[in-house]
Amino acid sequence: MLFSGLIISTIFASDKPAAIFTAGGLAVGVGLMAAVYKLADRRWKVQLALIVLTSLGATFAARTWIRELYEFDHTWQNYLETRDEFWAKQGKALDDPTVKMFEARLKSRDNGGFFFHGNLGGMYLATVFIISLALVGQRWAQRRQRYGGPWLAIAVLLSLFILSALILTWSKGAIASAGIGLLIISVIWRWGDVMRRHFRWSVLITLLLMIAGIGAVVGWGVTEKTLPSLSMAYRWQYWVASYEMFKDRPITGVGSGNFGTYYLKYKLPEAEEEVTSPHNFIVQGFSQFGLIGGIGFLLLPMGIFYQAASRSRREEERLVQESSPSAVGVWVALSVGIFGTLFVFNQTGYRQVMGLVAEYLPYFLIFSATFVMCSLKGDRLERIESEEVTGWTRLCLAVAGVVFILGDLVNFSLEEPSMQFLFFVLAGLMMARGNEEESGCGLQGTGCGKKRKHLAVWAVLAVWAGYVYFMMIPGISAEGTAVRGEKGVMSSSPNADEVYREFVSLARRYPYDGYLAAAVGDRLVRMAGGSSEPEWLIREAVDWYHLASRRIETQGMFYSKQGQAYLILAKLVEDKRDHYLSKAEEAFVGARIRSPMSKGLALTLGMVYADHIRQVPAGQSEKIAALAERSRENLDDAMRLDSALPHESIRRFSDSQYETIDGIRRYLGEGRE
């Protein structure tokens, strides 16, 4: 059902690059889950996975602490030194809402570690914190062996280190999920035998508790038109908009990764934030994948947890014991893989190899040190020990999965590739078993025959290859080209500008990607500032923006870029100013149709109509009256949307913007001499 929904929603999606990226990521994730499930058929493999995930957690925690202790203060000081110049280049007044939001984000110390958002970093740390408790349990069982006490203390300290970094993220959802996870571990560890004997009743009660919890949240929201706390009130606004989105396209959905493209069409007037995700995986599934895909997206984690719970009650099933590999050999293989990935990554031209090594070497050393500490047994580092996968280990893995899903009820983790990787690897480990005599087909069986196995392998490889070629490579290449464009010297001629030529090449190589076409237009607009032929460059930019809007018809941003380019032409070419202002109005109207709840677009369009009046000959009274009426309508819309926001919101118009609106209204009210 999930795959059917992904295919249908992608076919009917407007922004197909985003749809392919998100749907491809989920498809690859499910394939990864199946691969981990099949590969984790030996004790040492599960043990290795626990060690690697805990080491990654410690590395992530170190990054979080570094940002907290050094980077935030350093970034803030650098920003203050260049503040005026930075915003002058952006054409923003210092009281502009964009400036206020940017500075509020810096002051909030939103700490996502390696991620851009604290909620993502928090969920990653909450999940690996629970996983790390599995190693604590193993060290506890070994506490009476040689050096058992010190290694137990180190394992506990590693878990506490990860927990401390989780607290630094200030992610309430992640911290609450980790707390609920610890409570679940306590309950199951205390009454697990009873729950195992009454397995069906346990599953039924769990489902009823889930339904009651979701029903309570929805009931509160429907009754009160909001939810308790500011962050939950925001989420209720996203969910209400998502429901309207789903009602318009119940079968196909808006498409994977297309939520942000449509959100400004359905956003509540009082909603402050303009988001690209509904912050709930269930709502995400139904709004983006449609009814079929949404049901599949909901059933997927439920099926994973049911399979994991079913295995936990079968005492006879044990993973096979066999000779395990050298810990040093595994570390060398991991090191080669990491630096090999950096080398491949460098082929996109994003950054020099030595720069990547210098930036990430400290974190690699932290990962290596944690890996060694978790691999040692006694005073030996010989092999990855084949620890028995006990009930405690299975419990920690299962609860880590529960923590991830709980957090994703108020988060957007399953849209981030790194978080998808963590969840699906964890899901494969949760269901791991070593009974290779099992027959049947599908994820659980091996009796399908070699041909079908090979076919499945080739299908997964084909999906992965397509995902890499059509999504990862253009995305990374475009980002690398943009970075070089920011740092390098820009030529005033397109033929001499290497960054421009690279963007053109990418836009032609991937004819479905509107963002690459828009990137060409952006580069041309920047080049026009220092060119002797700015008019020709801006007209070329307009053509590229038109191409971008044809590729992704529902993306209002591309129409807005067209409008801005036409405004530049109106200033450059005096005798065609009336024509270019009319074209700008058409473009901004197109943007408003696609994003009717954007007060910024309404204000811009109102200002453009007012400016156009000044260019119309005095005798054309009907045209002047029509332009004045359109200007008033858009300014009224802008003020209506602005007044719907909370009075204390930093997203409301600035004083200078209010003065601009008042000035235009006075001009329209007085008429023109």
Task: Look at residue 440 in the predicted model and tell me its pLDDT.
Answer: 45
Co-location of 84 and 213 in the same domain: yes
Return the ∠ at Cα 611 (arms to 616 and 597), rounded to 5°.
130
| Whether residue 470 is found in the same domain as residue 525 | yes
Same domain? 404 vs 468: no
Task: Answer yes or no: do 200 and 286 share one domain.
Answer: yes
Within-domain flag for 437 = no
233 falls within a domain? yes
Q: What distance in Å separates the CA atoms of residue 466 and residue 510, rounded to the nearest whole number? A: 12
Q: Which domain holds residue 614?
A: 462-670
For position 316, what pLDDT does the model report? 45
| 195: three-class secondary structure by DSSP | helix
Q: Which portions of the chain are predicted below pLDDT 70?
A: 312-328, 331, 338-357, 378-389, 433-457, 459-461, 463-464, 467-472, 475, 483, 487-488, 670-673
392 and 377 assigned to the same domain: no
Examine the domain organization and report whether 286 and 371 are in the same domain.
no
Residue 126 lies in a domain: yes
Scanning 620-671, the segments in alpha helix (DSSP H) are: 621-644, 655-670
pLDDT at 153: 92
- Tens of pLDDT, residue by residue over 569-587, are 999 998 899 999 999 999 9
Please, which residues have CB within 8 angstroms of residue 578's CB and are 6 or more apart in sequence? 612, 615, 616
What is the C-alpha separation between 264 and 75, in angstroms, rounded?
A: 32
Is residue 444 one of the residues assigned to a domain?
no
Task: Report the candidate in 536, 560, 567 with the shortest Cα–Cα distance to residue 546.
Answer: 560
- Rounded Cα gap, residues 505 and 520, in angstroms: 10
Question: Do 496 and 410 belong to one domain?
Answer: no
What pLDDT score does 513 carry? 84
* Residue appearing with tokens 């590729």: 551
Query: 3-state DSSP: the chain helix, strand, coil percent, rounded to 5?
Result: 75, 0, 25
Q: What is the pLDDT of residue 612?
A: 93
Q: What is the pLDDT of residue 161?
A: 96
CB 41 within 8 A of CB 447: no
In angstroms, rounded to a whole number, what is the distance separating the alpha carbons of residues 349 and 479?
Answer: 9
Whether 451 is in a domain gets the answer no
Interatomic CA distance for residues 375 and 576, integer angstroms: 73
Per-position b or e across 429-448, b if 16+ CB within 10 A of its CB: bbbbbbeeeeeeeeeeeeee
At 43-68, the pLDDT tens digits run 788 888 899 999 999 999 999 999 99
Same domain, 538 and 632: yes
Kindly state whether residue 450 falls inside one of the protein's structural domains: no
> Is the residue at 452 inside a domain?
no
The count of domains in the chain is: 3
Judge residue 298's burial from the number of C-beta atoms within 10 Å of its C-beta, 0-12 exposed, 13-18 middle, 19 or more buried.
Answer: middle
Are 202 and 258 within one domain? yes
Kindly report the pTM of this predicted structure. Answer: 0.85
Tokens of 599: 């007060």
Q: Kindly state whether residues 230 and 84 are assigned to the same domain.
A: yes
In this predicted structure, what is the pLDDT of residue 672?
Answer: 43
In a domain, 276, yes or no: yes
Same domain, 54 and 170: yes
pLDDT in the model for residue 621: 85
Residue 606: CATH number of its domain:
1.25.40.10
530 plus 642 within the same structural domain: yes
Output the CA–CA distances (angstroms, integers) from residue 613 to 49, 344, 620, 629, 639, in the order listed: 68, 56, 10, 11, 21
Which residues is 380 bridged to in the sheet? 377
Nearest CA to 385 among 150, 55, 33, 50?
50
pLDDT of residue 400: 95
